Amino acid sequence: MAIKFTKPGRLLNRVRGMFVAVLLCGLGSFAGMAHAGYAAIVVDATTGQVLNEVNADEQNYPASLAKMMTLYLTFQQLQSGKLKMDQELPVSAWAAAKAPTKLGLRSGQTISVNDCIFGMITKSANDAATVMAEDLGGSESGFAGMMNAQALRLGMTGTHFDNASGLPDPQNLTTARDMAKLAMALYHDFPQYVQFFATKEFMFRGQLVRGHNHLMDNYPGMDGLKTGFTDASGFNLASTAVRDGHRLFGVVLGGRTASARDRLMARLLDDGFDHRQTPAILVAQAAGAGPSMAHRVLAALSPIGSAEAEAVPEPQHHRHRGKVAGPVAHNGCTPHRGVTCPRAPPVHHPRRSSTRLAQRTGNKKPVVVASSSND
């Protein structure tokens, strides 16, 4: 019998191909649980009406949008008086060892609550988020339990947090609708702290720390909230903007690039303010030909990962300029449900850190809707 020999190089390529095929089949069920794909939603802050949504209830990876819940629980403790802005928190070896992006904290140091907040919002600092988690929850895993309990109180039924930072973890899951609920709850429940989300940069120990939310530089009326990125999640963004006294909240998950994500958010908000539907194909195109499904699933399983290393997006120019309203919140983001809107208390600016905030125009007209939070 003739025996056909295969060259070592060809054999290696065949083995690699077979391995990839088997891996994709084996991970199919995992990818089905969290699509690592794309989603978007826009919600009217006054009525809670969903103006536009694509895949809004499909689970994706939150990346650093998870820090919005870390900030929610931080503001909760500040509001109750259990935490002080100038309070110094210890930095553990666990916190100091977190993957980038980070402030570069070292074990044995301390950092103020004020600087932790600025670090999370601007630099999306994973070490700062972990410091806060360990102080409030005793450990990061204990704090994750607090995050999940609060998520349920806010009606975030498609969300599960496994760490305070949003660093890669297959158990960190959320939906665009849930992130919109959280964003609106932050503005409703803590109007005295929402100005933090407008921060573009701040001074930390003699160094200027710049933020990742470049869309605030280019979209008139935008004054927060938070960016997020990991290889598994793609480029995420939760935003809020005001035009002519009317506030909208938007969430984009799974952008192919930071600039594609930002362009999509700008289009979604423009269409929301102009009472137009954004074609679903534009949301899909923003996800584009980025990392393949296999790459994102593998990235989610990897124990090593970094977040928020974003490229500077292309400048966006918009002809609309609106008036900035005060803080608002939500009613669970249920379409076509009206609510009565109480007025919000005035916003008090923090005393510490040199910061630059997003530009605001016009007079403030606080508009607040009922929150689903029972705290």
Q: Which residues are catalytic?
A: 64, 67, 124
Beta bridge partners of 215: none
Phi and psi based region of residue 76 (left: phi greater than 0; alpha: psi -120 to 50; beta: remaining): alpha
Rounded Cα–Cα distance for residues 362 and 245 (Å): 9
Beta bridge partners of 207: 204
Rounded Cα–Cα distance for residues 220 and 324 (Å): 9
Taking CA 102 as the corner, what is the angle to CA 291 and CA 351, rounded to the nearest 5 degrees? 130
CA separation (Å) from 105 to 65, 110, 155, 304, 309?
A: 21, 8, 34, 19, 18
H or E segment to which residue 242 belongs: strand 234-243
Rounded Cα–Cα distance for residues 215 and 213 (Å): 6
In our burial notation (b when 16+ CB lie closer than 10 A, e otherwise), range 79-95 reads eeeebebebebebbeeb
Contact 122, 129 (CB under 8 A): no
Rounded Cα–Cα distance for residues 80 and 176 (Å): 29
Tokens of 148: 């999940």
φ, ψ for residue 260 (rounded to 5)? -65, -40
Q: How far apart are the first and last CA of the chain?
A: 79
CA separation (Å) from 216 to 40, 107, 194, 358?
A: 18, 34, 15, 6
* Burial of 347 from C-beta contacts in 10 A (0-12 / 13-18 / 19+): middle
